Structure 1
Amino acid sequence: MISGRIFSLSNRTGIPKFQLTRKLSSVAATKLETPPEPTEPRMLTAVPGPKSKQLHSDLSKMQSMDSVHFFVDYDASVGNYIVDVDGNTMLDVFTQISSVPIGYNHPALLSAFNSDSAMRALVNRPALGVYPGADWATRLNQVLMSVAPQGLDQVTTMMCGSCSNENAFKLMHFYHMEKERGGRAFNQQEMESCMINQAPGTPDLSVLSFHGGFHGRTAASLACTHSKYIHKIDVPLAQWQVSDFPRYKYPLDQFVAENNAEDERCLAMAEDVIHNSRKTGPTITGVIVEPIQAEGGDHHGSNRWFQGLQDICKKYDIIYLIDEVQTGGGPTGKIWCHEWFELAESPDIVTFSKKMLTGGLYHKSKLRPKQPYRIFNTWVGDPGKLILLDAVLKTIRSENLLEETSKSGTVLLDGLTDLQNRFPGYLNSARGRGTFCAINCDTTDRRDKILNQLREVGVHAGGCGDTAIRLRPALVFKEQHAHLFLNKLETVLKSF
């Protein structure tokens, strides 16, 4: 019966089974050509241009998406250059909010599905939590575990950064409650009360986050997000505790004492909040922090700050989660930004997405759930994303992109520092690791005008916080691209 159905299908398509297989092979092996990267921007219209405006009008008839800046011709975009539907070619130092790892249309990615097995992994998209493919464990080990933070031997894939953090929070709470129960099984009262969101099955627990942080837009992640009011207003959220993230004075070498005092103030505040949570509730089971507060304004913390935060977590036996959704994947010159912090040991959990292409979380084995279905959804990630990530990681190694990123980042940061010294009324507080750089403007209005005028001269950049310009180029961003960006920024500054 099974073989008869297959034969019948082949007859209905008019293609014998063996020829159908050959056609799949032919599709998978199709080579996509990559044009050479432009040598400079080329602007034909204002941005958005007439075609972008028309497409936005069409989109607006069925979707509220006033956040759209312009529509993109992804066939024409290449390397470090994004091309819009009106033919404007711009140097892209924003890269889909830091999500393009090795540039647009990189040959390694275009050829990633040039095999039958890769194509089938893409089109069949298994429910990985219950029906993973035979090669899934191998893929996890060879791809994600090859760049796992030292000391983290467990990994779970997810679809995005928000759901990665949501499930990381659950691991924090599970760990705390397992200690509270002393390892015993759930009792009947706990199982029944959780079904109506009441204690003891639904305990009064929380996660400590920091002012200026951004961790996602789903419920628990949004409760830990404090970057812009528009993300949170009108949404009922858990009243979880929040503490201060350091705010430094720049240049750092001129304010050593003041910034050290800021570290100590913020660490003392965090410990005080954690300590008090055990008296008044909700009880804090873990801390979530970004290595660089990206959406909130590119705020940095010192090694001392991150080390001290880890010490506090160990003192209270709570979980230390570092959210590497924006910083992971190499933009700071290391795969993980927290590698710069000289921590005594790895964080307990590291979440990731964006440049890592798949979402997910690494964690220590002590956080493994004891029961199935506790960290679960239909897909639990996507094997197609690991196929792409495999190509990205191989390219990073073969093209030495972490070292290139460090070199380009030095050019960027030196150039930004020079420009702030030459235009002190407009720019200040240049900072960064690798190409993950930012600089503040004197006002929000100035920042927005600079971003608009940069686009007019062919550079697509982004803002964050109240006054910061943030740079998020791909890992293939080289020193010549950094010089080009700095020249364009200087041109804009001279126009004021």
Structure 2
Amino acid sequence: MTSTLTDAADLQLLGKEALLHEPPGGDPEKLTLVRAQGSLVWDDQGNEYLDCTAQAWSNNLGAGDPRVIEAAIAQTRELTHARPTFHTPALLELAALMVSIAPGQLNRVGFTLHGSMAVEMALKLALRNRPDAEHVAVLHDGYHGRSITTMAASWPHPQNAFGRLQPHFLRLPRPDLYRPRLGSTGEEDTERTLAVVRDILEKGTEGSVAALIYEPLQGNGGHNEFSPRWHQGIRELCDEFGMLLIIDEVQTGLGRTGKMWASEYYDLDPDILVFGKGVGGGFPLAGVLTKQEYAKFQAGDDQLTFGQFPISIAAGLAAVSAIIEDDLPARAAEHGHYATERLREMQTRHPLIGEVRSPGLMVSLELVRDHVTKEPATTEAHEVFVRAQRKGVIFGESRYASLGSLIKIKPPLDITRDQLSHALDVLDEVLTDVETDHGIGPR
């Protein structure tokens, strides 16, 4: 059908009704963005917002960095597409750069366009290297993407209609440092959970396990942290049971935690590392790093038509170079310390704040209705999100499947101190307003 509409506003209204992912009637809080620069975005009404989501935690380097834009434009003029049976100069340069900054002994790299596909690349590598294994293990509350396979590897999808096509994963428990089981401490829960994992691997599994994949700090499943003992214990179990350790750093990599990799921050030694989001400078890019001994793809195992999109590769080369040049991991560590201290001070005044979590600029606070029961304040968290956005600050929230009551503060790593301070001031204000409206008194 050919439209005769010429008014842009009319076309956009029609477009909202046509979008497959748009709910009937639309989402009243969903902005139409027209421009972004650094940590700021603007909507189609001319309103300015401070973006503390870095657009799904992807703009580790602030939006519109001229080094990235110029690299993408230059590549566009030369070559916009090359099938994966060819190299491009930017591809080879980025491969060398990624290996040079990789943690541990990871010295081979592969690229694709989305985190979900990078996770699938890692799973393929694990299965190639463990041809007799029958399982891949994942953790409760983990999140690895929304492809058919990675959705199955994540926490259960509500009203899942895709199970008949999805592979089955071995689901292992994870410790809960904020809500430890049976009245124990976080460290006691960690030791108990490691013991349960061992029992499952020894007695509760038919066949061997090729790999365990987990996030060093769980993102979408609740921003759940782990103790150093957990990371150490999991590495030991992987070695003991012949499992490859896959660390999913799609959200935590490229400086977000205050180190280039969360694997460095937590002293992890992965066999395969998955990266994405921040690597592309706002362009779609992801991939895996692995040890030489596990780089065993056969012809056709992992070739996607646009998997090595030259424009994204060129932008990624510029973005990663800029992250190194500007020492953004150190900036993230400094900003994260400042934000965490501010939030902990707020915690003494705001009864809604149950816990403050970091490290670096992977900051969140969990809102609870009661500090003893730790009942999640999901309704109140959404109100905080809405009111802050109306005041010009966009925070992240845990909207999907009501999995949590988090407010997430994960802006570009090069956000200015004044901008970050303003965002925290707005958060302080809206917390007061929500607590007042809900009759939640001082602690």
Q: How far apart, CA to CA, are the structure 2 residues paired with 1:336 and 1:475?
A: 14
Residue 441 of structure 1: aligned partner: 367
CA RMSD of aligned residues (A): 2.4
Tell me which residue corresponds to 1:352: 275
Q: Structure 1 residue 54: deviation in Å? A: 7.4
Equivalent positions of 1:324-335 (< 5 A) are: 324-335=249-260
Q: Say yes or no: does 1:377 pair with 2:310.
A: no
Matching residue of 2:78: 120
Contact 1:228 1:296 in 2 (8 A): no
- TM-superposed CA distance for 1:64, in Å, is 3.4
8 Å contact from structure 1 (residues 165, 215) kept in 2: yes
Residues 44-99 of structure 1: per-residue CA shift (max 9 Å, x gap): xxxxxxx9997354232253323865344443x21111111111111110121101
Pair 1:62–1:427, CA change in 2 (3 A): closer
Q: Using a 3 Å threshold, how does the CA distance of structure 1 residues 150 and 485 change in structure 2: closer, same or farther? A: same
Distance 2:15 2:297 in 1: 50
8 Å contact 2:137–2:171 — kept in the other structure? yes
CA displacement 1:268-306 (0-9 Å, x = unmatched): 22222222355x24x321101001111011001111111
Q: How does 1:5-404 map to 2 (within 5 A)?
A: 55=12, 57-66=14-23, 69-75=29-35, 77-113=36-72, 115=74, 119-121=77-79, 123=80, 125-128=81-84, 130-133=85-88, 136-141=91-96, 143-177=97-131, 180=132, 205-226=134-155, 228-229=157-158, 232-236=160-164, 237-249=166-178, 258-276=185-203, 278=205, 280-281=206-207, 283-343=208-268, 346-357=269-280, 358-369=285-296, 371-404=298-331
Off by >4 Å, runs of 4+ in structure 1: 51-54
Match of residue 186 from structure 1? none
Alignment correspondent of 1:9: none
Kindly state the Cα deviation for residue 219 of structure 1 after the two structures are TM-superposed.
2.5
Question: CA–CA distance in 2 between the matches of 1:404 and 1:285?
Answer: 37
2:357 aligned to which of 431, 445, 460: 431
Change in Cα spacing, 1:118 to 1:239, as seen in structure 2 (3 Å) is closer
Change (3 A) 1:240 1:126: same
Q: In 2, are the aligned partners of 1:246 and 1:262 still within 8 Å (CA)?
A: yes
Q: CA deviation at 1:228?
A: 4.9
Displacement after TM superposition at 1:390 (Å): 2.0
Letter aligned with residue 355 of structure 1: G
Structure-1 separation of matches of 2:102 and 2:123? 19
> Cα offset for 1:257?
7.1
Rounded to whole Å, the distance in 2 between the matches of 1:119 and 1:70 is 34
Q: Aligned partner of 1:446: which letter?
A: E
Structure-2 change in CA distance of 1:227 and 1:456 (3 Å): farther
> Residues 391 and 208 of structure 1: is their aligned pair in 2 closer, same or farther, counting only changes over 3 Å?
same
* Separation in 2, partners of 1:273, 1:57: 53
TM-score scaled by structure 2? Answer: 0.85
In structure 2, do the counterparts of structure 1 residues 444 and 172 end up closer, same or farther at CA, with 3 Å as the change threshold? same
Amino acid at match of 2:209: I
Match of 2:432 in 1: 494
1:18 aligns with none
Question: How far apart are the structure 1 equivalents of 2:297 and 2:250?
Answer: 27
CA distance in 1 between counterparts of 2:309 and 2:19 reads 28
Shift in Å, 1:396: 2.0
Relative distance call for 1:368 and 1:113 in structure 2 (3 A) is: closer
- Give the Cα separation in 2 of the matches to 1:302 and 1:369: 33
* TM-aligned CA deviation for residue 243 of structure 1: 1.4
How many residue pairs end up in the alignment?
A: 405
Which runs of no fewer than 5 residues in structure 1 stay unpaired?
1-50, 181-203
In structure 2, C-alpha distance between the alignment counterparts of 1:377 and 1:234, rounded to whole Å: 23
Change beyond 3 A, Cα 1:90–1:422: same
Q: State the alpha-carbon separation in 2 of the partners of residues 167 and 287 from structure 1.
A: 14
474, 492, 496: which is aligned to 2:412?
Answer: 474
Sequence identity of aligned pairs in percent? 23
